[in-house]
Amino acid sequence: METYLIMRTHAMATRLIPPQTIIQLAFAKSLKDVVSLLALTEYREYIDKIEELSARSLYKAIKKVMINRFGKLIDIATGKFKEFLIEYFRIFEIENILMVLGKKAVGETISEEELTHIPSLPFDYQRLLKAKDLEQAMKVLKETPPYNTIREEIVKTVLKLKTILPIEYELHRIRYERLFKLLRRYEFITVKESISRILGLEIDILNIFNVLATVIYNFTPEIVLQMIIPNGLLLDPKKLEKVALSKRKTEIIRLLKDYRDIVEQIMNRKEVEAYTLAQKEIRRRFIKDRITNFTTFYDVLLYIKMCEYEFRDLSLIIHAIEYNIPRERVQAELINVP
């Protein structure tokens, strides 16, 4: 069944938008121009259903394509591979939860329609949305598996500082622990090392943003140290602790030299640029580590990442058109382009 999943994934991957087309879309003058190009792809089925063209309606259409792609993979997968995919897709569930908590923290509302629902992740968002404030929302979250393992000290920090940053890292910690646990299964023996490197790279980048919160958000080292996620690729907890305690820019850059470009952008308070660089690095490593001699489950994760990046790039493009953002800036922030 794993072979069938991989074969179907390879077939689905042929429908991804090529990088040169993404660049062409980035310089589109209007949403109609974007629609004209996307009408030649699998997006047409969803675009044709749009009654009134806008960035919002087009965004909904491209999100449906991503969700449909992910749903197909979950339907095809079986056993531990299905479990892994569901856990891997939990990143979108975490994004949804953080959107809701962020609104609760500032006393604003959000509708369930704005969230990204991935099949086989039946989180009860209504209960979370109905929470009267951040404290009640945190209680609801802590009662919902798998987030019932949230540490109490994290909850206290969130409520004390009225910030969702600590819970963001806690949710990621829970997800990565579950992914690494699944990777220990014999089904993943041929891809364990490659997938572990990718997950470790993602964790390193999350931890960098975390420890540098002492610089850009004036968080105390005590706060960021409790948020460190284990199992990083190049950055161990001791090195991250030194970064959190350091007050010298040169020392911080030296300790994080493997990610110098990303670190400098963060320290210059250019977080969007840092995020783009980080995702490009993950994309580069994903492609570099691809096993070309034979097909594996690794190819499925590579496809998922390319789908995610395609969605994020298209989202950036259509909103850039609506808000008249310079196209050169848009091109610089594209992820799925080498």
3-state SS string over 245-307? HCCCHHHHHHHCHHHHHHHHHHHCCCHHHHHHHHHHHHHHHHHHCCCCCCCCCHHHHHHHHHH
Q: What is the pLDDT of residue 293?
A: 53
C-beta of residue 173 within 8 angstroms of C-beta of residue 66:
no
The whole-angstrom separation of Cα 89 and Cα 84 is 9
3-state SS string over 113-154? HHCCCCCCCCCCHHHHHHCCCHHHHHHHHHCCCCHHHCCHHH
Please check whether residue 16 lies inside any domain of the structure. no
Please check whether residue 266 lies inside any domain of the structure. yes
Please check whether residue 239 lies inside any domain of the structure. yes
Please check whether residue 117 lies inside any domain of the structure. no
Q: What is the pLDDT of residue 217?
A: 87
Q: How far is CA 24 from CA 34, 36, 107, 113, 165, in A?
A: 9, 12, 40, 30, 36
Please check whether residue 219 lies inside any domain of the structure. yes
| Radius of gyration, CA atoms only, the chain | 20
Kindly give the confidence (pLDDT) of every residue in the chain, 338 residues in length, as a single tens digit, with 9 standing for 90 and above.
588 999 999 999 999 999 999 999 999 999 999 999 999 999 999 999 999 999 999 999 999 999 999 999 999 999 999 999 999 999 999 999 999 999 999 999 999 999 999 989 889 999 999 999 999 999 999 999 999 999 999 999 999 999 999 999 999 999 999 999 999 999 999 999 999 999 999 999 999 999 999 988 889 999 999 999 999 999 999 999 999 999 899 999 999 999 999 999 999 999 999 999 999 999 999 999 887 656 899 999 999 999 999 999 999 999 999 999 998 999 999 999 87
Interacting residues of 327 by C-beta distance below 8 A, sequence separation 6+: 26, 27, 320
The whole-angstrom separation of Cα 287 and Cα 308 is 15
Please check whether residue 317 lies inside any domain of the structure. no
**How many domains does the structure of the chain reveal?**
1
The whole-angstrom separation of Cα 17 and Cα 44 is 13
Q: What is the pLDDT of residue 79?
A: 96
The whole-angstrom separation of Cα 230 and Cα 174 is 10
Length of the chain, in residues:
338
Please check whether residue 261 lies inside any domain of the structure. yes
Please check whether residue 118 lies inside any domain of the structure. no
Range of the domain at 224: 203-290
3-state SS string over 44-88? HHHHCCCCCCCHHHHHHHHHHHHHHHHHHHHHHCCHHHHHHHHHH
- How many CB atoms within 10 Å of residue 60? 15
Q: What is the pLDDT of residue 100?
A: 97
Q: What is the pLDDT of residue 131?
A: 95
CA angle (176 as vertex; 174, 177 as ends), nearest 5: 65
- What's the pTM value of the predicted model, to 2 decimals? 0.95
The whole-angstrom separation of Cα 272 and Cα 277 is 9
